[in-house]
A and B are shown apart, each in its own frame.
Chain A
Amino acid sequence: MFEQVFFSGLALGSIYGLVALGFTVIFKATDVFNFAQGMFVVCGAYLAVTAISILQLPFALAIVFIVVASALLGVLIHMTLIQPLLGRPMLSVIMLTIALSIALRALIEIMFGPQGRSLTTPLPTGVLMLGSVRISYLHLTAALVSWACMAGFGLFFRFTSVGLLMRASADSHEAAVVSGVNVNTMNRLAWAIGSTLAAVGGLFLGQLQIASTELEGIGLLALPAVVIGGMQSIPGAIVGGLLVGIIEQMAATYISPKSSDIVIYVLLLLILMVRPWGLFGQRELGRV
């Protein structure tokens, strides 16, 4: 029983970690606390519905479609909405992303109808028995793809020159500009990566459950994941996502299904009180 809950939590947590990673990339690069990240997950699910059910593309092409379209969405949002708000107070930017998510939700509900759509992909379904633990292939694929994406982006940031430029411009805008980095392009790239990672999460969540705007709530669990892990930290986002997934499943099984959200948010509150910079983040020091 415990192992069962643990593994399904781990699988869900991997998806949260993926979404949270996208969130952190955006936050690090542009200082935008993106409340629309949950809606990017929904967009990913509906892009999958569009590609697979409506356009009936082959699966490989469908994935290319999802990645390209969600990356374009991220770039477009950065160009039209985020850039004009550069240097504005925090609440303006937060509220902009909230309004954006409301607008996206309304648009999706107008285009696809308020009911959810079921999403079927040629990904393997069925159950793998590991001793007494049942693991669905879908969970397993989701976890594996999430881990591959996380590892891929970890390597990308660590070892490629573009990754280096992105880290540099996230560390200090001014210094990067002075060194001749096109910070705007880097920021746009960060938004593209962030929305694409969320969309990949949406592709899996849409199949594990159903593609509907309700997925936003699940996507929003990336927020506590990010804070628990430490907002500026990429490994923190991944660990935070895994933790949130496992805790959520544990609370739903052992306490009550209704309590899963509240347990996570109480944990968030405790972390904020005791260690506001999260498990892996760096302590911010104020200077006068």
Chain B
Amino acid sequence: MNTTTYSTATPKLGAWVWLLCWTSALVYLPTLLTERALFGMALSNTQLLNLGLTQINLMLISMLGALSLNYLTGCAGLISIGHAAFFATGAMAAAVFDTQLGWPFPCVLLACAVAGALVGTLAGLPSLRVRGLYFVLSTLAVHYVVTYVFLEYQFKFFDVVGIPYATPRIGDIEINTPVRWYAFLLPLVILVYLGLKASLQSREGLAMRAMRDHELAATSVGVDVRILRLKAFGLSSAIASVAGALFAYYLSNITSEAFNINFAIQFIAMIIIGGMGSLPGSLVGAAIWLLLPSIIAGLSPQSSEDAGFMGKLLVEHRAQLVQLIFSVMVIVFLIFAPSGVAGLGRSLKNRLDAWRQGL
């Protein structure tokens, strides 16, 4: 199969400069957020948009989830509204292998990935028989089944308080501070991103996108759609499962309520805002979804003093206001920019290129 369309050109000088800028920015970010100063110049909470490293870390974990869902839904065309189930699987596997059996952390993560892949392949089985809407509903049913198992498991071995998780350690290093978490999560996200990108450019990735765009056409050129579906499901849920385990570790205690249907819905919202089928888009979507609430929360202390209508709203109904803003944002994106931030970026770039050529 001809892959020239997707082959990467040799990076130019500009690309290297960009890479350098991004790397230094990402390395400097934890220092900026812990010392709350930019090159020795102190910044107020407002100037930092009320952000801390904790939000950044949770954002990185969500990025894993958004990437895996976008791989499945945007690239393979399989809609899952039960993605929280795989997060729950990961959290459950981590509880079994770490809290109960005491395996070392890297082995636990590996076991979580395997468990996630298994559950994901099982959850993908209905895709062999049903299509479209019916399949969406089967993922919803899977979600209810898995969260019920999680609930039963939690109450059998732990109690209503939730499942506790030990501080993860790799070798002698305990991952116990936000900075260490950042140092662990950032390379992981980059790794997963590059891995998924490579997988999309491989022969199977192309076959997968062909399957998404036209299933019958893909079948007729010899793509085994059924196996490919299960593979996509397995890979996506393995990643989601690891993300779920990390989420549980990061919070150090988790109950079955954490993985409700809204948890799954937020990932769909992320990839809609970011851009369906675009891996960088998933990162942007996750960033917007996780950082915006604390930015909105950061607005409230100033506005409560003049206590206007908006100020009162911010103080009394902050949670609802965040929900409202997000849902309206999703609706606006769906109606006016169906390809998300990634699509907006593309059209902007096209316009820029056209303008440059006009010069």
Contact = CB atoms under 8 A, between A and B. Distances in A.
Given A106-B323, A223-B137, A94 B81 contact: yes
A227 B145 CA distance: 17
Contacts of A54: none
Contact of A90 (B133, B145, B326, B334): B133
A268 B137 contact: yes
**Of residues A99, A227, A269, which shows the largest number of chain B Cβ atoms within 10 Å of its Cβ?**
A99
B324 A107 contact: yes
Contacts of A100: 327, 331
A85 B332 CA distance: 11
Interface in A222-271: 223-224, 227, 231, 258-259, 261-262, 265-266, 268-269
Contacts of A273: 126, 129-130
Interface string A95-118: 110111011011101100010000
A261 B148 contact: yes
Contacts of B272: 91-92, 95
A103 B268 contact: no
Contacts of B207: none
Interface string B146-163: 001001000000000000
A180 interface: no
B338 interface: yes
A39 to B, nearest CB: 11
B320 interface: yes
A126 interface: no
A90 B134 contact: no
A106 B320 contact: yes
Size band of the interface chain B makes with A = 35 or more
Interface string B208-240: 000000001000000000000000000000000
A92 B277 CA distance: 13
A272 interface: yes
A276 interface: yes
B331 A109 contact: no
Nearest to B329: A99
Contacts of A276: 129-130, 134
Contacts of B145: 262, 265-266, 269
A254 B335 CA distance: 47
Contact of A99 (B136, B321, B334): B334
Interface in B62-82: 73, 79, 81
B328 interface: yes
A261 B147 CA distance: 11
A98 B266 CA distance: 10
B134 A102 contact: no
B200 interface: no
A221 to B, nearest CB: 11
B255 interface: no
A223 B144 CA distance: 13
Contacts of A231: 133
Contact of B334 (A85, A109, A258, A265): A85
Nearest to A220: B261
Given A272-B137, A272-B138, A110 B321 contact: yes
A98 B81 CA distance: 11
Contacts of B216: 288
Contacts of A223: 137, 140
A110 B324 contact: yes
A64 interface: no
Nearest to A109: B320
Contacts of A227: 134, 137
A217 B334 CA distance: 25
Given A91-B73, A91-B79, A261-B148, A268 B327 contact: no
Contacts of B144: 261-262, 265
A252 B321 CA distance: 35
Interface in B135-190: 136-138, 140-142, 144-145, 148, 151
A2 B337 CA distance: 54
Interface string B300-331: 00000000000001000100110110111011
- Most chain B beta-carbon contacts within 10 A, residue among A95, A105, A258: A95
A224 B144 CA distance: 12
Nearest to B330: A99
Interface in B250-279: 262, 265, 268-269, 272, 276
A155 interface: no
Given A103-B324, A110-B321, A269-B126, A91 B338 contact: no
Nearest to A92: B334
Interface string A76-95: 00000100110010111011
15 contacts: A81-B335, A90-B132, A91-B272, A92-B334, A95-B334, A96-B331, A99-B328, A99-B330, A100-B327, A107-B320, A110-B317, A224-B141, A258-B151, A276-B130, A276-B134
Q: Which 3 A-B pairs have the closest CB atoms?
A: A103-B327, A106-B324, A265-B144
Interface of A: 33, 81, 84-85, 88, 90-92, 94-96, 98-100, 102-103, 105-107, 109-110, 114, 223-224, 227, 231, 258-259, 261-262, 265-266, 268-269, 272-273, 276, 288
Interface of B: 73, 79, 81, 126, 129-130, 132-134, 136-138, 140-142, 144-145, 148, 151, 216, 262, 265, 268-269, 272, 276, 313, 317, 320-321, 323-324, 326-328, 330-331, 334-335, 338
